[in-house]
Structure 1
Amino acid sequence: MTGYLGFPYQIDGSGQTATTDLPTYVQNLILLVFETNPGERVNRPDFGAGMRQLVFGGMDAALASAAETLVRSKLIQFLGDAISINTLTVTMGNETVTVDLTYFVTHTQTAAGTSITVPLPGYSATPQGGSTTATASIPDY
């Protein structure tokens, strides 16, 4: 198998495990950390940044600062060997939390970035961003 596992896991047209390139793989890992709430993973209960929970915390500068610290620490904890964070900002909107992230992919030392907006349940997610942003959506739960 060449490449990296596609996410979500799927079978390609030849019946093999679907693969992707390194920038897309790393982007998918970042989305996975953002989307997962702590406690969702039985064997890793501390995994995830719990971004959906942040939209219910009240929209103020103190929460945005705390969210930025939380997201940064979770990315370092779970992806510290895969990425090196350059900039990270968290912006709280009326119905959304937006994370703007620029980073270096450690393996290739290439710069990349992404902007991910997590809406309140019932609204559409809008991931946007830099050169390695994969098209993805954050499902409503």
Structure 2
Amino acid sequence: MSGRRTDIAFPFRVDPRGRTARAAYDAHVRDLVEQLLFTTPGERVMRPDFGCGLLDLVFAPGSPELASALELSALASIQRWLGELIEVEELDVAGADGVVRVRLRYAVRATGSRRDEVFEGSGPV
């Protein structure tokens, strides 16, 4: 797989030419990680066990035990759903003031590129 491969952009949108917007492969993989982290299990009809459900706990009282449980849950979901695409090097989940922040360092298996990304999600407003 070359670094020039493109995929559908997330969120789905139309580009200025009126075509489906595209994303480079590494950006597409990042989009997949974001979808996985912030999708609640049961939200997808054909894949009811897809997701981490991190946003369900955005207002839960914080504790070291909860943070550890969230990290393990996120890591298990990433390995299950995206393990063929990425290799996780470091994962940190933190929540404060209604925001869940995930710092993820990973390598994209197909391209060999290393990424250090921060994903943020908040509960309903």
The SS at the match of 1:114 is: strand
Root-mean-square deviation (Å): 1.5
Which residue is 1:5 aligned to? 8
Identify if the C-alpha distance between structure 1 residues 23 and 58 changes in structure 2 by more than 3 Å, giving closer, same or farther. same
Which residue, 32, 38, 43 being the options, matches 2:35?
32
Which residue is 2:102 aligned to? 99
Which residue, 19, 22, 27 being the options, matches 1:19?
22
Q: Following superposition, which runs of at least 4 residues in structure 1 exceed 3 angstroms of deviation?
A: none
Q: Which structure exhibits the higher relative contact order, with contacts defined as CA atoms closer than 8 Å and separated by 6 or more residues?
A: 2
1:118 partnered with 2:124: no
Which residue is 1:60 aligned to? 63
User: 1:54 & 1:105 partners in 2: Cα distance?
Assistant: 28
Which residue, 78, 87, 90 being the options, matches 1:87?
90
Structure 1 length normalisation: TM-score?
A: 0.79
Task: Answer whether contact 1:59 1:94 (CA < 8 A) is retained.
Answer: no
Deviations 1:30-58 (A, max 9, x none): 11001210000111000011111121332
1:73 partnered with 2:76: yes
Q: Where is the strand percentage greater, Structure 1 or Structure 2? A: 2
Structure 2 unaligned runs (5+)?
Answer: none
Task: Answer whether contact 2:93 2:102 (CA < 8 A) is retained.
Answer: yes
User: 1:120 & 1:44 partners in 2: Cα distance?
Assistant: 22
The SS at the match of 2:104 is: strand
- Aligned identity (percent) is 33
Cα drift, residue 20 of structure 1 = 1.0
Structure 1 unaligned runs (5+)?
Answer: 123-141
User: 2:67 & 2:107 partners in 1: Cα distance?
Assistant: 23
Instruction: Count the aligned residue pairs.
Output: 121
The SS at the match of 1:69 is: helix
